[in-house]
Amino acid sequence: FYRFQACVYFASVFQAMSCGIHYLASVFMAVTPNFVCGIPGNVSSVLFYNSCKSSIEDIWTLWTSPENYVVVQLENGDIWELNQCSRSKREGSLDLTYEYKGNKSVFSCSDGFLYDDTKWKSTVVTQWDLVCDREWLAKLIQPTFMLGVLIGAVIFGDIADRLGRQRVIWFTSAGQFVFGIAVAFTFDYYSFVTVRFLLAMVSSGYLVVAFVYVTEFVGIKARTWASMHVHAFFAVGIMIVALVGFLVRTWWVYQIFLSIATLPFVLCCWMLPETPFWLLSEKRYEDAQKVINIMARWNKISAPSKVSELCSVQDDLGSDNDTSSTKKHNILDLFCNWHIARRTITVWLIWFTGSLGYYVFSLSSVSLGGNEYLNLFLIGAVELPCYIIACIGMDKLGRRNTLIPFLILSALICVSIMFIPQDFNILIILANMAGKFSIGVAFGLIYLYTAELYPTIVRSLAVGSGSMMCRVGSVVAPFCVYLRSVWIFMPLLLVGIMALLSGILTIMLPETLGKPLTNTLVEATEMGRSKKSCSGKTPPAHSGATLEKIEMFHQEALSAEK
C-alpha cells in the first residue's frame, strides 16, 4: 500500500460514496407528508377539533394521526369534512362544528390532495399523488431499485471479467452521474422508476467491480483492511444523504445535489489504469508490463517485476492443476455432501441476514422520532468504527469467534428495543445505532470468511452466490420495513429471529484464522473435523525464490477471484 496503491485506492473508493448516496436517497425523496383531500372551492374558515384557522396550512402543526379529519367552510356556505382519502359534504347544516351526526354525502378526492409542506416542499409522493389507492406505487420505489442492484451486480461483474475492470469503472461512473441527473428530470412515475432502476444497475456494478479493482492493486498485507474499508466510504455516502436532505427540501433539487457530489471522480476516472492481473489473464503482457513499470516508478522501486517471470510461474501452476481445472463446476458443487451443504446454507443465511438487517436499520432510522436527518447521519457514522473492530476481531479472535457474538448481540438488541418506552427517543436511537453497529461487523466480515471456507475450485462461485443472497435480502428489506404498519416492532422481530438463527448455525462453521486455503472439496470438507491441517501434503521441491513467487502469485490470484 505505497503511493501508487494509495492514489488508486482512494480515487476508486471515493466514488463508492455515490453508491451509498443513491442506495438510501429514497428515504427523503419518497417521504409521504401529512395530507387531506383537496377542497372543491375557496375556503373561508377551517376547524380542527377546537382550533379555528383561516387556512389548512395553519393546522398541520396540530395534526397527530392519519385518522384525523379537517372541517372547512367554503365561501358559498357549504361545509365539508376532509379525510385523507375521501371527503364528505354535510347536508342541511350551516353550523361550523367539529362533531356532526347528520346526513353526509361522501365523494372521492377528484380535486387532488393538499399536502403538509412545512418539512418538504416537494417529494415524488406529492409530485404524482402516490397516496391512497396509489400508495403501493410509492412502496415499490425502493424494492425496484434494489432489484436493479441485484441485476446490475450480476451483469457488470461478468462484463468486467470479459472487457476489463477499467472500462466498467468508466462506464458505471459516468452512468451514475448521467442517470442520477436524469432522475431529477423524469416526467412521470414510470419514467422515474425506470431511470432509477438503471441507476441502481450501474451503482451496483460500480461497487462490485471497484471492490475487485482495489483488491487486485493492493498488496496482501493491506488487503483485508483495504477491502473492508470500501464499505466505510459507502457509509459516508449515507451521511451525505442526511446532510443534503437537511439542506435541500425539494426532491428534484435534492437529487441533483446528490448526483453532483461525486462529479470530480467522473472527470478523472479515465486516468485509472487497468489491473495487471486482468491484462495477464488476457495475455496482454506488454500492457501489463507498462502498468507494473508505472507502479514501480510511483513507488520508487528501481527493479520492477518482470511479466515474463510471473508468466512462467503461472504456467507451472497451471500444469500442476490441469486435472482440477478440466472439470467445470456449478452451484450444485456447493451441496456436494452434507457438510458442505450445511456450510452453504449457513453462509447464505448470514449473507441474507446481514443485508436485511443493514437496510432495515438504515431505512427505519427516519421513523425513530426526533430529528430524522440526525438519525440517518448517526446510523451511517456508526459504521465507520465497526469495520475497524471487525478487522481487529478477525485477526485477534478469528472469523467465527467474531461473527457469532455480533450476530447474537444484534438479535438481543432487536429484542431489547421492543421493551424501550416510545417516549425515550434518545435511548431508542442509541439502541438502533448499536444494532446497526453489530450487524455491520457481521456484514463486513462475511465477505472474507466465505472466501476462506471454500476451496479454490468453487471459491468464486461461493462468494458470488452469497452476494446474490445479499441482494435478495436488500430487495426484501423495504417490504420488511413496511410491516411497521402492521406492528411497529415487526421488522425488528424478523431481523432478530434471523440474526439469532444465523448466530447459532455459525457455531457449526470451522474457524479459518491461520489455516491454509483449501484447494479441493475433500480438503474443505475435512476443515474443522481434524486438528491437523487439511493441506498437509508436502509440496514438490522448488528453489526458495521460485516457491516464494508461486505463493505470491497464488495469493494474488485468489484475491482477484474474491
How many other C-beta atoms are found inside a 10 Å radius of the C-beta of residue 190? 11
**Which pLDDT score is estimated for 523?**
82
Query: What Cα–Cα distance (Å) separates residue 266 from each residue in 12, 14, 29, 165?
Result: 10, 10, 24, 15
- Residue 446: band (very low, low, confident or very high) from pLDDT cuts 50, 70, 90: confident
Q: Is the residue at 218 inside a domain? A: yes
pTM, two decimals, is: 0.82
**Which pLDDT score is estimated for 556?**
42
Q: Calculate the average pLDDT of the chain.
A: 83
- Residue 323: band (very low, low, confident or very high) from pLDDT cuts 50, 70, 90: very low
Residue 322's Cβ-side half-sphere holds a number of Cα atoms within 13 Å equal to 4
Q: How far apart are the first and last CA of the chain?
A: 18
Query: Beta strands 113-115 and 35-37: pairing type?
Result: antiparallel
Domain range enclosing 86: 36-118
Mean pLDDT is highest, among 293-302, 310-319, 405-414, for 405-414
Q: Do 114 and 126 belong together in one domain?
A: no
Q: Is the residue at 324 inside a domain? A: no
Q: Do 362 and 471 belong together in one domain?
A: yes
Over the range 99-127, which residues count as b (16 or more CB within 10 Å of their CB) and which as e? ebeeebeeeebeeebbbbbeebebbbbbe
217 vs 181, higher pLDDT:
181
Across 127-136, 289-298, 322-331, least confident range: 322-331
Q: Do 252 and 241 belong together in one domain?
A: yes
Residues in Cβ contact with 128 at an 8 Å cutoff, skipping those fewer than 6 apart? 134, 137, 188, 189, 192
Last residue of some domain: 87, 118, 149? 118
The H or E element that residue 218 is part of is none
Mean pLDDT is highest, among 32-46, 518-532, 540-554, for 32-46
Three-class SS state of 328: coil
Q: Which of 246, 539, 183 minimizes the C-alpha distance to 374?
A: 246
**Which pLDDT score is estimated for 313?**
56
Q: Which of 400, 415, 421, 411 minimizes the C-alpha distance to 507?
A: 400
Q: Do 42 and 12 belong together in one domain?
A: no
Q: Do 54 and 25 belong together in one domain?
A: no
Q: Do 243 and 208 belong together in one domain?
A: yes
Convert the pLDDT of each residue in 447-497 to its tens digit.
Answer: 778 878 888 677 767 877 888 888 899 889 999 998 888 888 999 999 999
Convert the pLDDT of each residue in 268-285 to its tens digit.
Answer: 778 888 888 788 877 888
Mean pLDDT of all residues in 37-42: 83
Which amino acid, residue 552?
A: M
Confidence check: pLDDT of 13 > 70: yes
Q: Do 106 and 194 belong together in one domain?
A: no
Four-point Cα dihedral 279, 282, 284, 287, nearest 10: -20
- Residue 405: band (very low, low, confident or very high) from pLDDT cuts 50, 70, 90: very high
For helices 141-163 and 189-217, the axis angle rounded to 10 degrees is 40
Mean pLDDT of all residues in 373-388: 90
Residues in Cβ contact with 75 at an 8 Å cutoff, skipping those fewer than 6 apart? 41, 42, 43, 44
Domain of residue 2, CATH code: 1.20.1250.20
Residue 173 and residue 12: Cα distance in Å, rounded?
10
Q: Do 13 and 111 belong together in one domain?
A: no
**Which pLDDT score is estimated for 327?**
58
Q: Is the residue at 46 inside a domain? A: yes
Q: Is the residue at 292 inside a domain? A: no
- Residue 444: band (very low, low, confident or very high) from pLDDT cuts 50, 70, 90: confident
222 vs 350, higher pLDDT:
350
Q: Is the residue at 2 inside a domain? A: yes
Q: Do 264 and 344 belong together in one domain?
A: no
363 vs 558, higher pLDDT:
363
Q: Is the residue at 284 inside a domain? A: no
- Residue 78: band (very low, low, confident or very high) from pLDDT cuts 50, 70, 90: confident
Q: Do 54 and 100 belong together in one domain?
A: yes
Q: Do 382 and 449 belong together in one domain?
A: yes
Which amino acid, residue 356?
A: L
Residue 161 and residue 100: Cα distance in Å, rounded?
70
**Which pLDDT score is estimated for 505?**
94
The percentage of residues in the chain with a pLDDT greater than 90, rounded to a whole number, is 29
**Which pLDDT score is estimated for 548?**
38
The H or E element that residue 80 is part of is strand 79-82
Last residue of some domain: 272, 291, 308? 272
Q: Is the residue at 363 inside a domain? A: yes
Confidence check: pLDDT of 252 > 60: yes
Across 169-183, 328-342, 414-428, 546-560, least confident range: 546-560
Q: Do 482 and 448 belong together in one domain?
A: yes
Residue 357 and residue 168: Cα distance in Å, rounded?
29
* Domains contained in the chain, number: 3
Confidence check: pLDDT of 537 > 70: no
Last residue of some domain: 250, 272, 294? 272
Q: Is the residue at 60 inside a domain? A: yes
